[in-house]
Structure 1
Amino acid sequence: MVASGNNYKETVSQLISWGHWFSFFNIIAAMLLGTRYIIHSDWPESLMGQLYLGLSWVGHFGFLVFGFYVLILFPASFLIPSQRLMRLFAVLVGTIGQTVLLLDTHAYESLELHISPLVWDLLLSGERTDLNAKWQYLFIVVPAIFLLQLFLSEWLWRKLRKLTRKHVGVPIAAVFGLCFLASHLIYIWADANLYRPVTAQRSNFPLSYPMTAKTFMERHGLLDRQEYTRLREEQGVENSENIRYPLKPLSFSDKGTGQNLLVIMVDGLRSDMVNAETMPYLNAFAHQNLNFANHYSTGNDSTLGTFGLFYGLPGAYSNSIRAEHNQPVLLDTLHKRGYQFGLFSGSGFADPIYQQTVFTQAQLSLAAELAHDETGDQAAIADMQSWLSKQTAGNPWFGYLELTDVQNYEETGENHLAQFQPSLTTSADESVKNHQSNASPAELLKNTYRNAAYYVDEQLIQIFDSLIERNLLNNTIVVITANHGMEFNETGTNSWGSGTNYSQYQLKVPLIIHWPGSQAAQITRATSHLDIVPTLMETLLSTTTVPEFYSSGISLFDNSSKRRWVLAGDTSDIVVVQPESTTIVDRYGNYTVYDPDYKMKDDGKPKLSTLMQVLHELKRFYQPNP
């Protein structure tokens, strides 16, 4: 019994020592495979960023592999009495681990995602694509990995005594430990100081969760949370990537048509409000001009919808644009062409997107000079009318008017109910009174929203009367749209307002364009905010550069391109809207598929080919200039 006990202890001791060396060489192998992540990611521009990259490369893979040793192989050394059986088990674990890492590097290079349920489902879906073929070819190397692991296992067992006498285990462990600790300390500093060359590397490696300590630093007086929040809002999210926008210098065939451009953005107006009852004037105007009846915003909130409208890019790029301070190519071109800018907003451009990305400080200062002390849509319209009266013939101008009364529908509806929809509010009609008393909270809220839309419809009459009186309509392109819609729990998911889901109620918005010389038409094919910039750049400003170099959209007048999906979402969610489904993919690769009524489809899966196209579009402007 004593001999047996001594043999067991000696075997366990040898296996633990062997396991350390087996893990060390697997760490080296994992680091070599990990260079594929480094090659495919942006190289840090600063020395601190490069130092962090090197430390995290060594420290992360050292921690990752050794962590699996501690969780799996170390306890197995006590449970599996045979050293041959134990080493075979370790070989299998090492083979599986290195194979998964190899597959993850391939997924990262192809999809910009680490392995997740989405990646597994897509790559094992059986859909025939080049990615599937390459994925399957990778399994050919699995026997080679197994043989290498087997050779390593045998060689280490034979050399175990010799390696043990070198006494290098502690220094090696210290190197990996110090690299791991140093990388996390650097990240804590970078996170607190919004240092992008470091924080942009947050998700480069698999299972990477860098440490942050903002709460601890704030508690000890090392971080001012308010100042940190302010700087983050100014600079954008700290892990935004460097963007190249546009991808190449733009070229033009001539100076353009010289027509004026007026964009009216009705904050929070969803598309089904444009009807004869709620917005009779805008509905009649839509029938007399170009009405894009199946139009989607790029986001479900004010910021991302406005971003897509001006940039022609998905919301996923918004943080990078904000960090790089790139102005929209549309506004930049208008400025270079000598267009006079008139910017007006019922909220005084309170949304940070205007100050941080869309407009320059000079443009906003000019807007402040044109505005009076009063705020609100009526004041903004009056300011615009005053500005229009000062414009001279022959000098083109660009006007932007943001109306916010629909977004603030509760306040607007309450203040103006008696003026514009008495049929919905007059208590003299007993049937209406009974209907109001029996209405649900959702119906009452939606009724208030409709009242606000009706009020804005009357305001639009003033705008067009001004254009007609000044004989401007025949030489002015007018774009009427919204940044997002509103929901009143129509999906039955307890969703209200905006920014709560990606249903048609929050994404689908009106797009009505008055283009001088064009015939009235109702266009039912799917269109997007992404398409407005290419349309104006090509038809108004005569660019010869194809849209793919400055936008993710296509011209609204391009009938040859067939769109199979519409892209929306934000910096966290990818949203793919198709006729029969809406697919949402989060930052971790988890996905949900909904039917057209926004009911979850239990067996719904996105097509690999579609997702590949979407992911390519979301990374295209991060690639080097062609």
Structure 2
Amino acid sequence: MVTSGNNYKDKVSQLISWGHWFSFFNIIAAMLLGTRYIEHSEWPETMLGQLYLGLSWVGHFGFLVFGFYILILFPASFLIPSQRLMRLFAVLFGTVGLTALLLDTHAYETLDLHLSPLVWDLLLSGEKTELNARWQYLFIAVPVIFLMQLVLAEWIWRKLRKLTRKHVGVPIAMVFGFCFLSSHLIYIWADANLYRPVTAQRSNFPLSYPMTAKTFMEKHGWLDRQEYSRREAAQGIEESEHIRYPMAKLKFNDLGSRQNVLLIMVDSLRSDMVNPETMPYLDAFARQNLNFSNHYSADNNNDGGVFGLFYGLPGGYINSIRSERTSPVLLDTLQKRNYQFGLFSGDDFEESIYPDAIFSNQLMPDNATEHQNDEQAIAAWKTWLKQQKSNRPWFSYIELDSVESFEEGGDYIPQFTPSLGSSQLNPAEVDTNLLLKNSYRNAAYHIDELLMDIFAQLVEQNALDNTIVIVTANHGSEFNETGSNTWGAGSNYSQYQLKVPMIIHWPGMVPGHITRATSHLDLVPTLMESLLSTTTPSNQYSSGVNLFDQGASRRWVIAGDGRNIVVLQKNITTVVDKYGNYRVYNQDYQLQSEGKPKLSTLMQVMHELKRFYQPES
């Protein structure tokens, strides 16, 4: 029994020693494969960034491979007493590991993503995509990797005594440990100081999760979270990629129809509010004109929704546009056509996207008038309209804020009760959801009356017959209809937060109710082609299509920002984060555990999000 016990201990000891050396040489192999990530990634410009790259390259792959050894091979050394069987198991495990790493490098070079559920589905879907067409050739390397692992395992076993006598295990472990710990300490400092040459490397390597300590530092007074957020937003703009917008010089047939344009943006107005009970006047106006009832904003927040409407681009491009202060091609063209501009807002153009980009081209300082509320904004607009010369066309933008500010109430009589501010109201006896929803509807009803005043002014000045009138919203607002404890906007991508009105009065157009899916990204191509007569294809300056092009093939609508890609299809919403993880929801925004997106569609969407970054050929 004693002899048997000693033999078992000796075998396990040998296998553990062998496993250490086997892991060490696999770390070297992983590091060599890891150079493909370095080659594809942006090279850091500073010495500290380069130092971090070297430390993280050594430390991360050392930790990664040795971590798998501790979790898999080390316990197996006790469970598999046969050294031959154990070595075969280690060879198979090493082959699988290096093959997965090889596949990951290919996914990173192709999609800028590491292996994730999305990438695995792309690989295994059978669909004809660029990634799927090329990855199968990588399996030619599997027998080579297996053979190399087999030779390595046998060589280490034969040289084990000689390798053990060198006593270099501890120094090697100390080097890997130092690199691993140093890289994380550098990242903690870089993250707190927004030092981009280091933080930009966060996702260079697979399964990389650098340590941060912002909460700890804030608790001890070493970090001001508000100042940090401000600097983070500024850095996102400053470090954004260069954008080519438009991608080609715009060409035109003629000077266009010279019609006036009135764009009315009702903040936070969701599409189902346009009904005979809540907004009777706008509902009647929609029936008499063009009503796009299946219309989606470009994002679920203020900046993204307005950005998509004016630029015709997905929200992922917003930082690049801000960085270069590029004005919309639509407004640039209107200025060149000598249009008069009148810009009015019920919240003083509070969103930063207006001065940063949309109206940065000398429009905001000269033409935008500040107002305290929607009524004053409309009064100023009416005064401005009376001053316009009949021989010059005009473009006017009115932003109305009452719906978004519904909780603050206003100087209007509530039509739906009980609501916030109702007299003799006992909140404990009333459903909070009902209070909020009724207050929201009261604000929408008030906006409906303001819209009536705007349209009446156009009729009074005989301008309606020569004015394109567009009524829409930047995003919707939810009252927990999805049952996920989400309220307002910016919390999910359900129809309640993305689906908004798009009602257009276009002189000479036959009224119609359009039920096909349309997007905020479509407004710019519509005006550029149907008003301004451009002959340049819309894909050179927008991701949308002309709203009047009924033959346009559209299988999906895109929304979201730089953090999330949102693909809207019939009865399906797919949300993909920047790491390639995806979630599929049904028409009620309920998560589908077995749902999978059409992967070729996702590839097209991801291409669209990079298309305006591509260098000129």
* TM tier relative to shorter chain: 0.7 to 0.9
TM-aligned CA deviation for residue 279 of structure 1: 2.1
Matching residue of 1:250: 249
Letter paired with 1:392: K
Q: Which is further off, 145-154 or 329-338?
A: 329-338
Quote the sequence identity (%). 68
Matching residue of 2:443: 452
Matching residue of 2:385: 388
2:417–2:438 CA contact under 8 A, matched in 1: no
Query: Deviations for 1:506-554, whole angstroms, at most 9, x for unmatched residues?
Result: 2211111233443333222110011112223333444444333332212
State yes or no: 1:409 paired with 2:406.
Answer: yes
2:325–2:360 CA contact under 8 A, matched in 1: no
Matching residue of 1:530: 521
Change (3 A) 1:188 1:398: farther
Change (3 A) 1:281 1:193: same
Query: Deviations for 1:327-364, whole angstroms, at most 9, x for unmatched residues?
Result: 43434444555544432211112234434444429544
1:58–1:179 CA contact under 8 A, matched in 2: yes
1:234–1:356 CA contact under 8 A, matched in 2: no
Query: Deviations for 1:550-598, whole angstroms, at most 9, x for unmatched residues?
Result: 3221222333321111112344333222123222334454433333233
Aligned counterpart in structure 1 of residue 603 of structure 2, from 599, 608, 612 = 612
1:234–1:322 CA contact under 8 A, matched in 2: no
Task: Return the alpha-carbon distance in structure 1 between the equivalents of residues 243 and 456 of structure 2.
Answer: 42
2:261–2:396 CA contact under 8 A, matched in 1: yes
1:485–1:508 CA contact under 8 A, matched in 2: yes
Change (3 A) 1:88 1:395: same
Unaligned residue ranges in structure 1 (runs of 5+): 427-432
Query: Deviations for 1:363-392, whole angstroms, at most 9, x for unmatched residues?
Result: 443456x225xx111111122223333433
Change (3 A) 1:247 1:416: closer
TM-aligned CA deviation for residue 416 of structure 1: 1.6
Aligned counterpart in structure 1 of residue 539 of structure 2, from 535, 548, 551 = 548
1:572–1:586 CA contact under 8 A, matched in 2: yes
Change (3 A) 1:16 1:133: same
Task: Return the alpha-carbon distance in structure 2 between the equivalents of residues 502 and 52 of structure 1.
Answer: 37
1:489-504 to structure 2, matched below 5 A, reads 489-504=480-495
State yes or no: 1:510 paired with 2:501.
Answer: yes
2:344–2:398 CA contact under 8 A, matched in 1: yes
1:371–1:383 CA contact under 8 A, matched in 2: no
1:295–1:511 CA contact under 8 A, matched in 2: yes
1:250–1:543 CA contact under 8 A, matched in 2: no
Matching residue of 1:143: 143
TM-aligned CA deviation for residue 316 of structure 1: 3.3
1:347–1:376 CA contact under 8 A, matched in 2: yes
Change (3 A) 1:292 1:98: same
TM-aligned CA deviation for residue 143 of structure 1: 2.4
Task: Return the alpha-carbon distance in structure 2 between the equivalents of residues 48 and 470 of structure 1.
Answer: 66
Unaligned residue ranges in structure 2 (runs of 5+): 419-423
Letter paired with 2:149: Q
Task: Return the alpha-carbon distance in structure 2 between the equivalents of residues 233 and 604 of structure 1.
Answer: 34
Matching residue of 1:62: 62
1:330-345 to structure 2, matched below 5 A, reads 330-335=330-335, 338-345=338-345
- Alignment length (residue pairs): 609
1:14-413 to structure 2, matched below 5 A, reads 14-44=14-44, 48-127=48-127, 129=129, 131-164=131-164, 169=169, 172-219=172-219, 222-236=222-236, 242-246=241-245, 248-253=247-252, 256-257=255-256, 258-322=258-322, 325-335=325-335, 338-360=338-360, 363-366=363-366, 370-372=369-371, 375-412=372-409
Query: Deviations for 1:264-316, whole angstroms, at most 9, x for unmatched residues?
Result: 11011111222333323222322333221211112223232222222322233
Query: Deviations for 1:249-272, whole angstroms, at most 9, x for unmatched residues?
Result: 432236742444332110111112
1:245–1:326 CA contact under 8 A, matched in 2: no
Change (3 A) 1:387 1:497: same
Change (3 A) 1:31 1:417: same
1:19–1:73 CA contact under 8 A, matched in 2: yes
Letter paired with 1:416: Y
The CA RMSD over aligned residues, in Å, is 3.4
Letter paired with 1:560: G
Matching residue of 1:573: 564
Task: Return the alpha-carbon distance in structure 1 between the equivalents of residues 92 and 320 of structure 2.
Answer: 43
Counterpart of 1:236 in 2: which secondary structure?
helix
Q: Which is further off, 385-394 or 63-72?
A: 385-394
Counterpart of 2:31 in 1: which secondary structure?
helix
Counterpart of 1:291 in 2: which secondary structure?
strand
1:255–1:337 CA contact under 8 A, matched in 2: no
2:304–2:315 CA contact under 8 A, matched in 1: yes
Task: Return the alpha-carbon distance in structure 1 between the equivalents of residues 569 and 270 of structure 2.
Answer: 19
Change (3 A) 1:482 1:228: same
Change (3 A) 1:130 1:344: same
Query: Deviations for 1:101-131, whole angstroms, at most 9, x for unmatched residues?
Result: 2222333344443223343345434556554
The two structures have a TM-score, normalised by structure 1, of 0.86
Task: Return the alpha-carbon distance in structure 2 between the equivalents of residues 87 and 77 of structure 1.
Answer: 9
